[in-house]
Structure 1
Amino acid sequence: MQSARRFLCHSGGVRLTPRQRADRHLSCSEREEISRDIASRESAWQLIRRLGRSPSTLSREIARNGGRDRYRAASADAAGYARAPAQAGHPRPTTGSARPGGGQAGSVLVARSDRRVAATAVSW
C-alpha cells in the first residue's frame, strides 16, 4: 500500500483520459458558425441546410444558450461541455445484473429515459 501511494505521489497521480465528444454533439466550429449566422441575421433554414443538422437541434441549441439576442459560441460550448455527463458511454448496469446470481428469473430490468421510467419483469 505504501509503495503504491509513494509511486502515485512521485508520478503526479493517475492520468485520466481526456473527454471526447460524440459526433452527434455540436462541435465548437459549428457553434461558431451558428453565432456568425445569427449576427449576420441569416435565416435559420439556410443555417440548417449548411450544417446538415435537424431543425430541432439548432433551435434547442439557440434557446438553451440565450436565444438569438444573446447567443455566444464560446459560452455555449463551455455550457455544452459542462452539461455532458462525465462518464458518457458507460451506462448504469441493469438491476438484474447487480443482484447475486445476476439476473435470475423474475428480476426487474429498468429502462430509463430523460423523463420516463419503465419497468419490465423478465422470466427465462
Structure 2
Amino acid sequence: MAKSETETESPPRLIDQRIAELSDWRGEILSRLRALIKQAIPDVVEEWKWRGVPVWYKDGMLCTGETYKKVVKMTFAKGAALDDPKKLFNSSLDGNVRRAIDFSEGQVIDEEALKALLRAATELNARKK
C-alpha cells in the first residue's frame, strides 16, 4: 500500500504548506504563534495530526494550532492545570483538561505572556513524565 503525500512529508514542511495556503490573516497568526512556540521552547517537536492540525510536543503534547474561518485556535492539552495570570485562555473554559486561546483577525498577541504559558506547559509535562 502506497503512502499518501502527507504521510511522507515532514511535519514542519506540512505546517509551512498550511501557512502558505491560508495566505491571509490566519496564516500570519499561525506563523507568528509557531515562531513564538519555537522561541519559548527551542527544542519543541512539530507534528502533523488529525488530517491537518499542527501539534507541538515537548515531554508530551503542548498545544495545537487549529485554523477556522474566524479564529486561529491554540489549544493547550493540559491548559486547565496551568496558571493563567494574564487571562489568555478565552475558549474551552468548561473542560477539566484542555484550555484554548482563540485569536481573531487584528488581535494583538501578548507575546511574553504566551511564551510564559508555553514554558509553564513544558514544565508541567516534564513533571508528569
Question: In which range does the TM-score fall when normalised by the shorter chain?
Answer: under 0.3
Q: Which has the higher helix share?
A: 1
Greater strand share, structure number: 2
Taking structure 1 as the reference length, the TM-score comes to: 0.22
Larger Rg: 1
